[in-house]
Amino acid sequence: MGKRAGKPDSGGLAREAHIVAHCIRKGGGYSYAELVDRISLMPEVCDRLGVHPDAPPDPSTFYHSFDRYAMYIWRALLRISAQQHPQSGCVALDSTFFEREQASQHYLQRCGRSVKRVKVTTLTDTESLAVLDVHCCIEREHDTKAGPRVVRRNADDLRAVAADNGFQDWNSEYEIAALGIEYLVHYRGSSMMATANNALIRSKGYTQRCMSETSYSTVKRTQDSALRSRFWYRQFREIVLLFALNNISTSQSIVS
């Protein structure tokens, strides 16, 4: 795709300009048309983005750039935003759901949409509450499958992972232990082994796992968390962008 998001023969805006524009759009809950109107009223932002206030880009320019920018770009933004926070190496592994905004039943039947929620698995630093990584799926992938996948991608930066019993699986435990990471996972049941394990992990900081729920609550309360995009891959990118914006806003509050 190169450094430009527009067509080669028309120049186009720089990649970072599109990323900033999408941050403004999602942070304010604007439509693409409202985004263009909003940017045109901010001369300083126009100057930084290379946009002329009297001749702003067409809304479709930003709509299509969201298509062209693959998930790795939004993951990179999430990673950079998380690096603005101090990293403890101790993270909480947890899952939540985001509602897909529903159109009329007639529209849903025509497009064949039946999934109402997107499942999201995250790694959250238990001290800074920064979200390090996100995994999205629409087919209800089990926690024992999604969890290790997220941990593997970030293994070099982790010392301990705390997770509830939904992530408890012997294969997952062996896999994560092989990465040199302490896995503080809550065991099901009340057997002697489960009771001993649960008491041990609580003494090692398992209770900090609830920090991920605090992060979810903050994102859904302060950001426009509705998933309005029609296509699932665009909704995945919206979710990653939501957590990146939350990391940025919390890092700014720490600095100030």
Q: Do 60 and 128 belong to one domain?
A: no
- Establish if 78 belongs to a structural domain: no
Contact between residue 54 and residue 123 where contact means Cβ atoms under 8 Å apart: no
Share of the chain above pLDDT 90, in %: 34
Classify residue 79: in a domain, yes or no: no
Looking at the domain assignment, is residue 180 inside a domain? yes
89, 160 Cβ separation under 8 angstroms: yes
**In this predicted structure, what is the pLDDT of residue 6?**
46
Mean pLDDT of 171-197: 88
Same domain, yes or no: 133 and 183: yes
Q: Residue 16 is part of which domain span? A: 8-69
Q: Are residues 92 and 39 in the same domain?
A: no
2 is a domain residue: no
What would the mean pLDDT of 153-163 be, rounded to a whole number? 92
Same domain, 45 and 99: no
- Are 136 and 58 in a shared domain? no
pTM: 0.85
pLDDT at 105: 63
Kindly state whether residues 190 and 105 are assigned to the same domain: yes
Q: Give per-residue pLDDT as tens, 7-61.
A: 444 557 888 889 999 999 988 889 899 999 999 998 898 898 888 888 888 999 8
Pair 184, 159: CB distance under 8 Å? no
In tens, the pLDDT along 191-231 reads: 888 888 888 888 888 888 887 888 888 888 877 667 777 78
> Count of domains in the chain?
2
Give the pLDDT confidence score for residue 2 in this predicted structure.
42
Are residues 63 and 170 both part of a single domain? no
In a domain, 27, yes or no: yes
Q: Check which CATH number belongs to the domain holding 109 and give it.
A: 3.30.420.10
What number of other Cβ atoms are within 10 A of residue 32's Cβ? 18
pLDDT of residue 82: 94
Q: Decide the pairing of beta strands 182-185 and 160-163.
A: parallel
Interacting residues of 233 by C-beta distance below 8 A, sequence separation 6+: 71
Q: How far apart are CA 107 and CA 121, in angstroms?
A: 29
Flag whether 37 is in a domain: yes
Asked whether residue 146 falls in the same domain as residue 221, the answer is yes
CB-CB neighbours of 42 under 10 Å: 14
- 1 assigned to some structural domain: no
